[in-house]
Amino acid sequence: MTSPVWVGGGKEPQADHEHPFEWLRACHDRVERTLDLLQRLVAHVDGHGADTSSAQAAAQVQRYFDRAAPLHHEDEELHVFPRVRAMCDARLDALVQRLQADHAAMADDWAQLRPVLLRLQAAVGDAGWRWSSDDRECLTRFVRRYECHIATEEGEVFVAAEHAMTAADRAVMSEDMMVRRAIGAPPARAMALKPSRVPR
């Protein structure tokens, strides 16, 4: 493994009041790149153990699935899935139920996988560090579940929800996504340190 930092022309999530679904798809792009990094990490550890490069990659994967992924799931639970279920289409409703079950299963998988990545980061310098069979099973399950999940969302569910929304609906969705991420808000510390205006 070379640098664990992402390289190349992948899309980055952008705050856009008019195109929240493009934001969601850009998040999927980052999920896929992070999953690719995780799979490269598996192979790297097989050959090199817990070296500095593997620890950096593990930390990068951990940061993404600790912070960004839960917010993305929340976007879908709050704005996409309810819109599709309101259509009263039995086939789409079944897909949404499966995707919601995926979110719960992904959280369980991550609860099992996260401590493994933490142990890897703590073991830097141990050339003999290896994945256990349970680790490998969890890693494989985590990646495959996400891959199938994303394909279903982008292939059908996002399309149905997007078509059912007005421009005003999309603006509300985008605003909520930005508020929950504090996009555009001044940092709390900067606000706390800003001197108050003294009357003269």
Cα(167)–Cα(52) distance, integer angstroms: 48
Q: Please tell me the distance from the alpha carbon of residue 112 to that of residue 109, in angstroms, as a whole number.
A: 5
Write down the domain spans for the chain: 20-183
Nearest Cα residue to 13 out of 33, 3, 27, 29: 27
pLDDT at 20: 95
Question: What average pLDDT does range 13-40 have in this prediction?
Answer: 88
How confident is the model over 134-150, as pLDDT tens digits?
999 999 999 999 999 99
Candidates 56, 12, 57; CA nearest to 38 is: 57
Residue 195 pLDDT grade (very low, low, confident, very high; cuts 50, 70, 90): very low
Confidence of residue 200 (pLDDT cuts 50, 70, 90): very low
Tens digits of per-residue pLDDT, 69-105? 999 999 999 999 999 999 999 999 999 999 999 999 9
pLDDT band at residue 182 under the 50/70/90 scheme: confident
Considering the chain, what is the average pLDDT of its residues?
87
CATH class of segment(s) 20-183: mainly alpha
Contact 40, 177 (CB under 8 A): no
**Alpha-carbon 6 to chain mean position:** 15
